[in-house]
Amino acid sequence: MHTYSAVIEYDGTDFKGFQQQPGNVRTVQKEICRALNALAPGFTGFSYAGRTDTGVHAKNQVIGFKVKQALDIYRFSWKFNCLLPGDISVKRVQAQSDSFDARKDAKLRRYSYYIVNSSCQSVFLKKYSIMITGKLDVQAMKGAAEKFTGIKDFSAFCNDNFKTGCNIRQVYDCRIKRYPGNIIKIDICANAFLYNMVRIIAGTLIEIGKGKRKAESIEAAFESKNRKDAGRIAPAKGLFLSGVTY
């Protein structure tokens, strides 16, 4: 068997998340596996770096798979893109070691959340960002973002529907930057993320930016480990899986 990885980009608007689900449910994995089956019948070992939720996008999702025969990567990539729908694109395919696993081997994952802080939102951004008309205090948000870094129990900042039992994660960086056009981006990278973790962190920072919450409330939420002490979950459409490091 020959092992390969692929970097995938997708618009999550019309998908019920990445992971394949039973029944007639449109997911990113389902579309990718349909194309792979046509190109390499009997492929095995499918893996992926991050499970994105309904409506969440990806700029650099990574998948892994095994095939019986070595691939002509250029031809395979071209055919792969031809078979995928218009809201999924293969950016790069490369050979990997036999032991490669897109999830287990990932050392760092980065997510980005986009906000348009204006009374007008470009039509080309409406599917990929949220709009907040009231002026956000970006400096207050930047100061609060630093409180998320480190090895911490993020129980208050997730919806633990999967009951994983361990909500400790290491956040390496959480930063906020304003760009021309009144675009604000929240970047957060960690070894791994809990269910809805990034969107709840984003929602908490937005509330601080609006003046509805104090930065000190973040420390209180870490202490209580109670979901009710963190902010509201931010809408899915502003979130991107922007990078994975191996």
> Average pLDDT, stretch 26-55?
95
Residue 229 is a catalytic residue = no
Q: How many domains does the chain have?
A: 2
- Give the mean pLDDT of 1-13: 97
List the CATH number of the domain containing 150: 3.30.70.660
pLDDT given at position 163: 57
Identify whether the C-beta of residue 3 lies closer than 8 Å to the C-beta of residue 44: no
Would you state the pLDDT for residue 160?
Answer: 74
Residues 176 and 145: beta-carbon distance below 8 Å: yes
Question: Does position 95 have pLDDT exceeding 90, yes or no?
Answer: yes
User: Greatest CA span in the chain, whole angstroms?
Assistant: 58
Query: Residue 86: pLDDT above 60?
Result: yes
Shared domain for 113 and 218, answered yes or no, is: yes
Q: What is the percentage of the chain residues whose pLDDT exceeds 90?
A: 95
Tokens linked to 119: 């009374």
Is the CB of residue 185 less than 8 Å from the CB of residue 151?
Answer: no
What pLDDT is attached to residue 164? Answer: 61
Across all residues in the chain, what is the average pLDDT? Answer: 95
pLDDT, tens digit, for every residue of 136-170?
A: 999 999 999 999 999 999 999 998 755 567 899 99
DSSP assignment of 158-176, as one string? S--TT--S--EEEEEEEEE
Any idea which residue has 């490369």 for tokens? Answer: 94
Q: Please report which confidence band the pLDDT of residue 234 belongs to, taking 50, 70 and 90 as the band edges.
A: very high
For residue 19, what is the DSSP state? Answer: S
**Residue 34's CATH number:** 3.30.70.580
- Residue 117 confidence class, pLDDT cut points 50, 70, 90: very high
Catalytic residue among 14, 53, 137, 160: 53
Last residue of a domain, one of 48, 65, 96: 96
Residue of 128, 152, 113 lying closest to 237 (CA atoms): 128
The residue from 96, 126, 150 where one domain ends is 96
**Whether the predicted pLDDT of 225 surpasses 60:** yes
CB contact at 8 A, 194 and 209: no
Q: Does residue 79 register a pLDDT over 70?
A: yes
Spatial separation of the C-alpha atoms in residues 134 and 191, rounded to whole Å: 33
pTM summary value: 0.94
